[in-house]
Amino acid sequence: MKTPISAYEKTQGMIYFARMLDKIRKHAAGELRNDFTENLGRGFDMRCANLLRVPYNTIRERTLEGGSDEEILQWCFENGRELNEGDVHVWNEFLRKTGWQDGTTERLTERKVESGLANCDEIQTMAEYFEYDEGRKSYE
């Protein structure tokens, strides 16, 4: 079973979108690590879909029809709303900082404990947590 790609991967400058599509594709292929399946379409997936004004299930269906991440994002712009440079900047900064002294901090702390990363002070945000939990960064 596999983890999704990094939340920091960009599609037309936008972080996370490629990760959401990667999770959709891996889940459909039966390759997504089991602990990711219960949150498909929730959390950042839901927030990303809401930002684009396209329902998550519609993005899922379009993704499974095929196409590159760029093509699917363009489709979202055409069928929801197009993001300008400022929108992308605000989204990226929101996603990069979620978990740092906000309403998600408690959940981040819980997830660090569950993953054996409670003492990893480098993890201050959910995006950084993903990097460690999914093995792209290591804590010793």
* pTM of structure: 0.93
Tell me what pLDDT residue 140 has. 63
> What are the residue ranges spanned by the domains of the chain?
1-86, 96-132
Q: Which residue has the tokens 């029809």?
A: 65
* Strand pairing class (10-11; 14-15): antiparallel
Strand-pairing partners, residue 2, are 32
pLDDT in tens, the chain (140 residues): 999 999 999 999 999 999 999 999 999 999 999 989 989 999 999 999 999 999 999 999 999 999 999 999 999 999 999 999 999 999 999 999 999 999 999 999 999 999 999 999 999 999 999 999 998 988 76
Tell me what pLDDT residue 95 has. 97
Tell me what pLDDT residue 138 has. 84
Task: State phi, psi for 78 to the nearest 5 degrees.
Answer: -75, -25
Query: CA 89, 92, 96, 102: dihedral to nearest 10 degrees?
Result: 80
